A and B are shown apart, each in its own frame.
Chain A
Amino acid sequence: MTRTSGTRAATTGAGMADPTTWTSVWAGLGVVAGALVLGLVLAWFDAVARAGVRVGSRAVLVPAAAAPVREGMRLLLGQRRTTVAPDRLLRTLAVCAVPVLALTSAAVLPLGGHSVVSTSADLVWFNAAEALLWVAVWMLGWAPNAVHSLVGAYRFLAQGLAYELPLMFAIITVGVGAGSLRATDVVAAQAGGAWFVWTMPVALLVFLLGAAAFTFWGPFGAPAARDIAEGVLSELAGLDRLLVELGRAVFLGVASATAAAWFLGAEDGPVLPGAWWYAIKTLAVMAFLVGVGRRLPLVRPERFADIAWMVLLPLTILQTAVVAVLVLGGFYG
């Protein structure tokens, strides 16, 4: 090896010796714990929203807030289910892949100018983690050798073809505005109140919409809808189900925090310490996502595909073009 550790440090940006990468194991464990907390908080928001959209009384809301934990414990102790001639290998892979991918996406969350993994293409990292869900969810639906779960898997792919391109353009817009694909650079570019949401509202909305779609949550829950007996989730019980549900919640929670970092400037804000601002923004994104998402009806994939390609895709391209012109005009400094 010609490049020793000494020259590695000299060439910044080279792999793990990056100044914006945390090298400590504790940082990795901390982000895993943080991602789990994000997932749990999101599950709380979701449970409260589902129970209390109309009721709104404490008698309903308090038990609802406890529901995710209770449900998790029930699944942990429950029996796993098996079907006739399943593809055991693919099922195991898929069940593990969903939470692992959610945690992987948390690795590029910028925190105080650092992230656990900091590459020169963090935005693509998040996108790749999310794209791997296509395969994971398809395997989840294929493996049990059951018709409803397979229908759910195909619905997810159809929905994926609809949401993926607008989501990619939303992510690219962030990269264009920041002039870098590194998450910490994106946050640095928004310092002093120059949050990207002011110039990229469409990208933020499409990003959140994409997040709901790749976790097949809320209005995009068609792959696990009731008309096909919960689709991709139909043959999952016990620990398998717990892992998949955990992965979905964590992924949506991490996506909310990512939206807070990429579009709302992460720690940027007056008076309060940065961490408070980050938490407030993340909670606000979650509240918005859950509040709006739980009020919308289920969208059928074939209808969403039409809307995504005819409306969302041109809108996001226009959004990117506007940001590109602003960049050329020196708007982002």
Chain B
Amino acid sequence: MLSRVADSLFWLGRNVERAETIARILDVNYTRAMDLYSQRDGRSEKLWRSVMHCAGFVSDPQPPVTGKSANDVFGFCAFDAENSTSIVSAVRIARANALGVRAEITTEVWELINVLYLYVEEQKLRSVMREGPSKFLRRVRDRAQAFAGVSDATMTHGDGWNFIQVGRYLERAYMTARILDAIDVANEPWHESQRMLEMCCASAPFAHASHQAPDPRDATSFVVLAENFPRSLRFCTREIDEAMHRVSRSPRGTFAIEAERRVGRLRSQLDFGSIEEMLSEGVQTFARGLVREYELLTQDIETTYFPRLPVPA
């Protein structure tokens, strides 16, 4: 497969996933802000600051949240084209990538992305807020989630599809790690844990698995280690590892390239490590370490599969 095409499919997978995650995060927090966090005690600001953190403003100077309304943050995370992790940016990037590999993806996949793009481009912050953002966010999430199904069902599960998988699960793991990093449960263990679970789409699965109200440690453990929950770090990392081995055709449990070595190490850490060890220096330290690992993994994949410099035969 062409390196450029693999590159585009990887980022297509990532950006669709990103649009979905940002939409979910906004939905959860916008709803929360209406009751619990609406009191004027700084909790609202804390809430929106954590949203900004998830949405990617870690290294950039923090845009001021104080004094800004939920609308501003919402506009920034959903519609700001300057913000490369906004919904509109993620969808545009996804669509540009899809367009560049139009010949490699199926008509069904293309139309799904194109319709999502046409829909998002049509929306304006003011009208979305007027009718309540839920409808808009729901539509974005539906389309983005349908992408996974349609690409699975219509594309050949060859290298191209595998690069989409790697992109999707890498982005998912990355965002889960960022959510863990963004939420500090110290003051309100129950509410904050619940908010974290909802942002990870894990509220009901966690309840179902644990039959209890969210204890912070158990909630974190679930999001990190749940074996069959499709957004846990362990699950995502395993999927990345599998997809990468399908591409390289190297046997499971071995590595042919640096990226496989890194993801393999990560996978065994998550498969065999204990939550106590992992969180021994606090959730934030652990989460940031993972964020860094996923960033390095992205670089490793780029170096091997989408090299900037030619590799002569």
Asked if A pairs with B, the answer is no
